[in-house]
Amino acid sequence: MTGARPQPPPPLDLERTEFDVLIVGSGFGGGTAAYALSRAGLKVLLVERGGWPARDDTDWNGRAILLDGRYRGETPVGVRQSGAPAEVDTFPNEVVGGNSIFFGGAALRLRATDFARWPITYTDLEPHYAQAEALLEVHGRAGDDPCEPPRSAGYPHAPAPLTAPAQRIAEAARALGLHPFHIPIAINHAGTREPKCVNCFTCDGFPCRIGAKNDVTQTALAKADPANLAVVARVLAARIVERDGRVVALEAIDRDGGRRLTLRARLFVIAGGAIGSAALMLRSGLAARDASGTLGRNLMRHCNAMMGYLFPFRTNPEHVNHKQICITDDYESVRAADGTALGVIQDMCMPPAEVVRALGPRGFRWAAAVSAERIQTLLCVAEDDAQAANAVTLSAERKDAFDLPVANVRHEYTQADTRRRDTLVRTARRVLRRAGGMIGKVRLIDSFSHAVGTARMAVTPDAGALSPDCRVWAFPNLFVVDGSFMPTSGGVNPSLTITANALRVAAQIRQDFGALTLAHSGATVGKLPV
């Protein structure tokens, strides 16, 4: 089922249909909610600003995907970070499946300790983690991760055998007294559906040309009830429309032709990603309805770096995907001092040589491309602190091609963030040296690939934009289920947590649907009347 997408729904007059649920955004949050709510018998419309992944040879072309930006949208996000004096425009990828299309497949659970500042506990989320692992068909082995949280079930599939580059890292880490283990991974190695992964070199950062990565299109959308779900691509959510304390419609723009649409539903779920959802809610004037003043703030993205070492031999001559090893030994080492996790170290592939050549220093590009074959890298993912000043805002001056204000992002790390990252980098250095590496170089990661936190959930309306059920406090029928809800970033990659939480929220919506769609906001700040 290459490029599996739900059967095209019967032609719908979108503007004349009132759906039970309208979801904005088709990433892990929105796609998972669409899966769960359509299977619960609700009529769901999912709108996504991007088109479907092409799944042709170009999807595995380093230049097309990483340099030319085949999936980049035309709407900029102005990013000001690392002390820079002004914003620099970035153009996020826009595609059905969201960032799941490009993700590396690492599917880890947060630890019970990561929930200390959340309004829910690990125990609340645990059953949904198990469901999320089943939905994403995660391959892993319970019991190997030295700080693994309690589990009610094993992994759906055993991990694939280690490749030679991953084996090299595992042996070096073990020699240093660490406890490397298989990264739980959402890739179809077991071959329980077609096609099976062929372990190519262009996985993390790329769409899977053959559809073997367990992204949202191949899992949540493929398993949703096609009779109850309409996925409409290339439709951009412009504004949420409120009347009498309820959300009644979404104003949207059909990107092919520019037609303005008014879409109606009984309940609305926003899942445009931590930057996209904040921008949509700010455009809709929801900051004025947010008693906490946190909407758009506390943007987190982990504090990440790639530690690369040059080896005296080709490190991956067979060009296989070797994102297979994870190290969590020091995960809890700063908990008492910082109140956070330290983070994790993961094996990762070098970008293809043509990308290294293009990005290498002028005059040394050929040398950079040749040495790329002799480099092996480890990814360091450190927890970062939530800070109110790290925020998504709307530009007062600039409009995009759809006449909507451009979103700006402001982000600076704390000293504690960079200290945690540097601690992980030191361990990664030791591992790579022990594995035979000779000269090392650190590359700091400045993307927002792990963006979370801009609509945090909290116990009371003055502490966060969302209730513990991820409902926007001011409205009975408006929910947010992408990474925005996270009060802290934790020390592991976010996708499995976003998926598990979307399943949790969908279960609550399913249970309370009648009350939620009848209630009026005045009566509902705090506990919903049932």
Ligand X SMILES: Cc1cc2nc3c(=O)[nH]c(=O)nc-3n(C[C@H](O)[C@H](O)[C@H](O)COP(=O)(O)OP(=O)(O)OC[C@H]3O[C@@H](n4cnc5c(N)ncnc54)[C@H](O)[C@@H]3O)c2cc1C
Size of the site for ligand SF4 (CB under 6 A): 12
Q: Give the interface segment with ligand SF4, choosing from 5-13, 136-144, 208-216, 476-484 (CB under 6 A).
A: 208-216
Residue whose CB is less far from ligand SF4, 75 or 93: 93
Among ligand SF4, ligand X, none, the one that 100 touches (CB under a kind-dependent 5 to 8 A) is: ligand X
For 459-494, letters b (16+ CB in 10 Å) and e give: eebeebbbbbbbbbbbbbbbbbbbbbbbbbbbbbbb
200 binds ligand SF4 (CB under 6 A): yes
Query: Hey, which residues between 315 and 334 contact ligand SF4 (CB under 6 A)?
Result: 321
Q: How far is the CB of 88 from ligand SF4 (least distance, A)?
A: 30
Q: Give the interface segment with ligand SF4, choosing from 200-208, 280-288, 389-397, 466-474 (CB under 6 A).
A: 200-208
125 binds ligand X (CB under 6 A): no
Among ligand X, ligand SF4, none, the one that 213 touches (CB under a kind-dependent 5 to 8 A) is: ligand SF4
Among ligand X, ligand SF4, none, the one that 460 touches (CB under a kind-dependent 5 to 8 A) is: none
The amino acid sitting at 265 is A
Q: How far is the CB of 97 from ligand SF4 (least distance, A)?
A: 13
Q: Which has the closest alpha carbon to 478: 103, 92, 23?
A: 23
- Report the alpha-carbon distance of residue 352 to residue 142 in Å, rounded: 32
Q: Which has the closest alpha carbon to 77: 527, 393, 336, 460?
A: 393
Question: 327: which 2 tokens?
Answer: 């190290």
Q: How far is the CB of 85 from ligand X (least distance, A)?
A: 27
Of residues 145, 383, 482, 512, which one binds ligand X by CB under 6 A? 482
280 binds ligand X (CB under 6 A): yes
347 binds ligand X (CB under 6 A): no
DSSP letter string over 179-219? --EEPPB-B--S-SSSSPP---S--TTS--TTS-B--TTTT
Residue whose CB is less far from ligand SF4, 28 or 473: 28
- Report the alpha-carbon distance of residue 502 to residue 32 in Å, rounded: 6
Give the SS3 label for residue 79: strand
**What are the φ/ψ torsions at residue 349 (nearest 5 degrees)?**
-85, 150
Peptide bond into 494 cis (omega under 30): no
48 binds ligand X (CB under 6 A): yes
Of residues 5, 49, 189, 246, which one binds ligand X by CB under 6 A? 49
Of residues 61, 202, 493, 501, which one binds ligand X by CB under 6 A? 493
495 binds ligand X (CB under 6 A): yes
The amino acid sitting at 465 is A
Among ligand X, ligand SF4, none, the one that 316 touches (CB under a kind-dependent 5 to 8 A) is: none
The amino acid sitting at 153 is A
Q: Which has the closest alpha carbon to 420: 300, 520, 333, 317?
A: 333
Q: Give the interface segment with ligand X, choosing from 47-55, 153-161, 226-234, 466-474 (CB under 6 A).
A: 47-55
Give the SS3 label for residue 53: coil
Beta strands in 55-170 (DSSP E): 77-81, 88-90
Beta strands in 73-208 (DSSP E): 77-81, 88-90, 181-182
- How far from 380 is each of 38, 141, 204, 444, CA to CA, in Å? 37, 22, 15, 10
Q: For strand 181-182 and strand 325-327, is the pairing parallel, antiparallel, or unpaired? A: antiparallel
- Report the alpha-carbon distance of residue 109 to residue 495 in Å, rounded: 9
Among ligand X, ligand SF4, none, the one that 468 touches (CB under a kind-dependent 5 to 8 A) is: none
Q: How far is the CB of 495 from ligand SF4 (least distance, A)?
A: 15
The amino acid sitting at 131 is Q
Query: Hey, which residues between 72 and 111 contact ligand X (CB under 6 A)?
Result: 94, 98-100, 102-106
- Report the alpha-carbon distance of residue 148 to residue 423 in Å, rounded: 21
1 binds ligand SF4 (CB under 6 A): no
213 binds ligand SF4 (CB under 6 A): yes
Query: Hey, which residues between 176 and 195 contact ligand SF4 (CB under 6 A)?
Result: 187
416 binds ligand X (CB under 6 A): no
Give the SS3 label for residue 500: helix
Residue whose CB is less far from ligand X, 209 or 524: 209
Among ligand X, ligand SF4, none, the one that 321 touches (CB under a kind-dependent 5 to 8 A) is: ligand SF4
Could you tell me if residue 305 is left (phi over 0), alpha (psi between -120 and 50 degrees) or otherwise beta?
beta
Question: 132: which 2 tokens?
Answer: 């999320």
Of residues 5, 302, 450, 471, which one binds ligand X by CB under 6 A? 450
Helix axes 164-175, 415-434, angle to 10 degrees: 100
Contact mark string toward ligand X, 212..241, x via CB under 6 A: ------------------------xx----
25 binds ligand X (CB under 6 A): yes
198 binds ligand SF4 (CB under 6 A): yes
Of residues 20, 21, 28, 393, which one binds ligand X by CB under 6 A? 28
- Report the alpha-carbon distance of residue 210 to residue 293 in Å, rounded: 44
The amino acid sitting at 214 is N
498 binds ligand X (CB under 6 A): yes
384 binds ligand X (CB under 6 A): no
Residue linked to tokens 């009026």 = 520
Residue whose CB is less far from ligand X, 176 or 241: 241
438 binds ligand SF4 (CB under 6 A): no
Query: Applying CB under 6 A, which residues contact ligand SF4?
Result: 187, 197-200, 202-203, 208, 210, 212-213, 321
Applying CB under 6 A, the residues found at the interface with ligand X are 24-30, 47-50, 94, 98-100, 102-106, 204-205, 236-237, 271-273, 276, 280, 449-450, 482-483, 493-496, 498
